[in-house]
Amino acid sequence: MEIKIGVTGSSGFIGKHLVSALRGRKNVKISCFDLPKNNLFDLNSVRKFVAIQDIIVHAAAVNRGSDSEIIAGNVIATYNLISAAIKRSGKKTKLIFLSSTQVKTDTVYGLSKKLAEIMLQDFSRKHKTPITIFRLTNIFGEGCRPFYNSVVATFCHQVANGKKLTISNSGQKIKFIYIRDAVKLILKEISVQRKQPFCLKRVSSSNIITVRDLVRLIKSFKKPKASQRLKSKFHQDLYHTYLKQ
């Protein structure tokens, strides 16, 4: 039986990796919903998109721009998706929402993600709509953009191009998640049938390193035969990210 999966933000860092992984699966039909062709503020387009999906992975997000652009891109866009899913007759569309640990901060981006989470939980409980929220943190990997997606990408880019690194809070410990590991969790959730309609998953990882040690490790990648000295999968994942900068 064919399963229809829609992905918003499929041209973004996480979306690209997810779509690539889905394309390797049998009996899966993928629909991508992205700018400039598609717009989450165009209600007619959103309804047509939702109407043919069994599952939607909402990876689209706005973390740069004015306050109003960030709020609209994360809250109103999400509202349009879920309201279209509720109004769909027959089988309910399952929604997987990619959130962020930034919900714990008082940044506009973090607050907008938090508001979207609250809204989705309320929708799910009122309408019995199946919704899963992944609260992700510090995702890195091949294809992430320096000075945008991840500090890992930024440091890799600076080291690979011989640029000076300026770091603060060098002793701070940060927890990282490799993009392919995150995608595996999303793929697993796609096939899960939950008893309760709402689920919040705080995605964690054992990949913890200080900023100082992260910089030291990435700098070591420039040395000959660096790949032969990697001690763990985490270090290997960092190295693969470095090679793509």
34: containing domain: 3-243
Give the model's confidence band at 238: pLDDT under 50 very low, under 70 low, under 90 confident, else very high. very high
Identify whether the C-beta of residue 146 lies closer than 8 Å to the C-beta of residue 160.
no
If one compares 83 and 227, the residue with the highest pLDDT of the two is 83
As given in the structure block, the two tokens for residue 208 are 């913890």
Residue 37 has pLDDT above 80, yes or no: yes
* Span 62-72, average pLDDT: 95
Q: Give the count of domains, the chain.
A: 1
pLDDT at 90 over 90: no
Q: What is the mean pLDDT of residues 158-173?
A: 88
For residue range 178-202, list pLDDT tens digits in order. 999 999 999 999 999 899 999 999 9
The pLDDT of residue 23: 93
Residue-wise DSSP of 47-109: HHHHHT-SEEEE-----SS-HHHHHIIIIIHHHHHHHHHHH--SSPPEEEEEEEGGGGS-SHH
- For residue 127, give the nearest of 78, 50, 200, 197 by alpha carbon: 197
Rounded distance, CA 47 to CA 183, Å?
Answer: 26
Confidence at residue 179, expressed as pLDDT on a 0 to 100 scale: 97
CA distance 175 to 162: 26
**% of the chain beyond a pLDDT of 70:** 99
pLDDT of residue 89: 59
Burial class (CB in 10 A: 0-12, 13-18, 19+), 73: buried
Q: Read off the CATH number of the domain in which 100 is found.
A: 3.40.50.720
Please give the model's pTM, rounded to 2 decimal places. Answer: 0.93
- What tokens does 62 get? 């706005």
Report the run of H or E that residue 175 belongs to, with start and end: strand 173-178
* SS3 state at 140: strand
What is the percent of the chain with per-residue pLDDT over 90, rounded to a whole number? 80
Q: Which two tokens stand for residue 118?
A: 């609250």
